Amino acid sequence: MVNVNRLSNEFEKHFGSPKGAKIYFSPGRINIIGEHIDYNGGYVLPAAIDRGIFAIAKETNSNEIAICSADFSDEMIRIPIHNEIAPLPNMHWGNYPCGIVKYLRDAGYPIKGMYIYLESTLPKSSGLSSSACLECLIAAIISPQLLNDNASRISMALLCQRVENEFVGVKCGIMDQMSIALGKKDHALLLNTANITFRHIPIHLGEYIILIMNTKKPRNLIESKYNERLSECHHALALIKKHRPIENLVDATEADLTHIDDVVIYKRARHVIAEQIRVQKAVQALEEGNLFELGKLLDESHSSLRNEYEVSGIELDTLVNAARSVEGCIGARMIGAGFGGCAIALVHRDAVENLINYASNVYREKTGFTAEFYKCTTSDGVGIIGEV
Ligand code: GLA
């Protein structure tokens, strides 16, 4: 949990008295299952987690929104609320807030001057959605009415996704923003990305926990690889559509795959179809409390992401395999876009320390990197958690 006194002191150092300021929390997310199908109209099953970004924010009478981030050496960005807002170069973190302010303003939301101080417990660029977390946080601070009800929260998620797609230039799906906007403690979010409807699914893990395993591998080229998969899926859909009028690639069947003669495109489509079925089975397993079945589905998902979709890599595979070989771990898989980032393991609580020791050693020996491990619990979506 964040230390409110420390946050208030930091705020005061940069902006003066924090009296009247509000404290916000925006979570990161894991994805239990349903990987790389949110841009194919699929069902996905993410959950908001207890690591994320905290903010202390206060309205001012000035003509700018000033944001200072502890995670970027207290760097301050200043966004003019009446003037033109253009993207900053080189994937600067400030682009997320700039885009959010611009898109909210263009959509007609009233924008006031603000002072905002940020502090994160979420590792960056690790596949835990630190960008969607920041987007939703800034949207919630600037336009708190977006927190009012589920419909407003869906609008928030869609606006944040547009910012990432158009302003920042990353062609992500809707899963991350929706899980952060609509997360619920002790639940996963079963999201139908074809029509943006959802249902919360209770998670009862009993003596098991979800352990996040961070490869800490610097992720280069991830966007180009992501866009490559996106266009491979578009290609697969176009080939199938010549024979049958389906709307999304997840609506394809094994029989439709016979129309794809390119081996690579065939493998991508086969992953998408099988992953969609696994999501439905995982929901059933969670509802029946069948954790062994859930674990098996996680394993199958990882194999498919490694062999068919080819978005894993030596780092993720090493951590997943090491985790799986420890007694008490009943399933593990990479999550998010891949090519580094994080994996999750479903592990008995008595086996956690053993798993961490073993997997860290194997991983360091094989890759030279030092992995990080976080025991994670689920959390509510972005919201106000206190006042000064
Ligand atoms: C990234 C994207 C998501 C989703 C995952 C893969 O996290 O932001 O929209 O496509 O990759 O499942």
Average pLDDT of the residues in 314-328: 98
**Predicted confidence band at 88 (pLDDT cuts at 50, 70, 90)?**
confident
Tens digit of each residue's pLDDT (9 = 90 or more) over 125-137? 899 999 999 999 9
Report the nearest atom of ligand 1 relative to the CA of 170. Answer: 8
Tens digit of each residue's pLDDT (9 = 90 or more) over 105-119? 999 999 999 999 999
Q: Could you state, in order of their start, the residue ranges of all structural domains in the chain?
A: 4-202+379-387, 208-376
Averaged confidence pLDDT in the chain: 96
Provide the pLDDT for residue 303: 98
| Spacing, Cα 34 to ligand 1 middle (Å) | 10
Judge if the beta carbon of residue 28 lies within 6 A of ligand 1.
no
- C-beta separation of 71 from 45 below 8 A: no
Report the nearest atom of ligand 1 relative to the CA of 337. Answer: 11
Structure-token pair, residue 195: 């029509």
Active site residues: 176
Sign of CA dihedral 136, 137, 141, 146: positive
Residue 1 has pLDDT above 80, yes or no: no
Residue 305 has pLDDT above 90, yes or no: yes
Q: What Cα–Cα distance (Å) separates residue 315 from each residue in 127, 128, 307, 308, 385?
A: 14, 16, 15, 17, 36
Provide the pLDDT for residue 212: 98
Judge if the beta carbon of residue 36 lies within 6 A of ligand 1.
yes
Residue 90 has pLDDT above 80, yes or no: no
Q: Hey, which of 175, 233, 309 would you mutate to test ligand 1's pocket, going by the most ligand atoms within 8 Å of its Cβ?
A: 175
Q: Whose CA is nearest to atom 11 of ligand 1?
A: 337
Q: How far apart are CA 3 and CA 56, in angstroms?
A: 11
Tens digit of each residue's pLDDT (9 = 90 or more) over 227-274? 999 999 999 999 999 999 999 999 999 999 999 999 999 999 999 999
pTM of the entire predicted model? 0.96
Provide the pLDDT for residue 221: 66
Q: Hey, which of 176, 302, 304 would you mutate to test ligand 1's pocket, going by the most ligand atoms within 8 Å of its Cβ?
A: 176
Tens digit of each residue's pLDDT (9 = 90 or more) over 137-146? 999 999 999 9
Residues 6+ apart with CB under 8 A from 7: 23, 54, 56, 117, 119
Residue 222 has pLDDT above 90, yes or no: no
Q: Find the helix or strand (DSSP H, E) in which 220 lies.
A: none
Report the nearest atom of ligand 1 relative to the CA of 129. Answer: 7
Average pLDDT of the residues in 73-101: 90
| Spacing, Cα 35 to ligand 1 middle (Å) | 7
Judge if the beta carbon of residue 81 lies within 6 A of ligand 1.
no
Provide the pLDDT for residue 7: 94
Residue found under tokens 């899980």: 179
- Domain 208-376: give its CATH code: 3.30.70.890
Helices (H), 86-195: 95-106, 130-142, 150-162, 175-182
Provide the pLDDT for residue 219: 76
Give me the CATH topology for the region 4-202+379-387: Ribosomal Protein S5; domain 2 (3.30.230)
